[in-house]
Amino acid sequence: MSETASEGTFAVVGTDTGVGKTVVTAGLVGWLREDGVDARAVKPVQTGYPPDDDAEFVAEACETDDAATCIERLEPPLAPRVAAEQIGASLSYAAIREGCERALATSEVGVLEGVGGVRVPLVDDREVIDLVADLELPAVVVARSGLGTLNHTALTVEALAARGVRTHAVVLNEYAGETIAERTNGAELERMTGVPVHTLPSFDLATPADAVPSVRRRLDRDVFPDNVRRALG
């Protein structure tokens, strides 16, 4: 772990873009804060800004700006390296990493939220997975529930393991159990990866604040890495 990172730090990463990382991150950070744990989400780079702003979503969900930080924001809705190239912006991996380290260290529990999938280009030849590995964080992987998730999720866990990143849990998001694929994917992923799988059923998200109680009701506290559960008491 980074010398400056909080001992309770972990990452929420995805198998792809749009799988629900931000909602899960908001729910977990809000859950911790409701239980008196000083928790903060950190987004290394936000693209598609505006209107997309994942850190703002987390802050609104937790009803405080203290709940989230974003290091860099870029307008094009593309991978960070590509977005920066398109507009001639200068991104520094060292600056992003150091910014994440500082932000994660400011809270009792820091939660790094990934950008798209783990192999998304971040800066130069660095990818999201490089940042997670360099910060030495365990990961919670968010994935789709339906057909096709076995391949994407297993490859994500495998890629993380190859970089020395331990996947603590997988969250199959928007689980409905309406198909054989959905009903069997959890057990099959556990067999394939050896990682515990949690299912997060769909819920109404009228406002960001709905994410916290909804995630808390639907996920078991075992979704948190061991050191974070100790902070919960």
- The residues assigned a catalytic role are 43
Sequence ranges of the binding site: 18-23, 47, 54, 113-116, 173-174
DSSP string, 51-100: T--HHHHHHHHHTSGGGEEEEEE-SSSS-HHHHHHHHT----HHHHHHHH
Q: How far apart are CA 159 and CA 15, in angstroms?
A: 11
Parallel, antiparallel or unpaired: strands 10-14 and 109-117: parallel
Q: Within 10 A of 191 (CB to CB), how many other CB atoms are there?
A: 9
Measured in whole angstroms, how far is the alpha carbon of residue 81 from the centre of its chain?
A: 19
What's the helix, strand, coil split of the chain in %, to 5?
45, 25, 35
Sequence ranges of the binding site for ATP: 18-23, 54, 113-116, 173-174
Sequence ranges of the binding site for substrate: 47
Sequence ranges of the binding site for Mg(2+): 22, 54, 113
Q: How far apart are CA 170 and CA 94, in angstroms?
A: 29
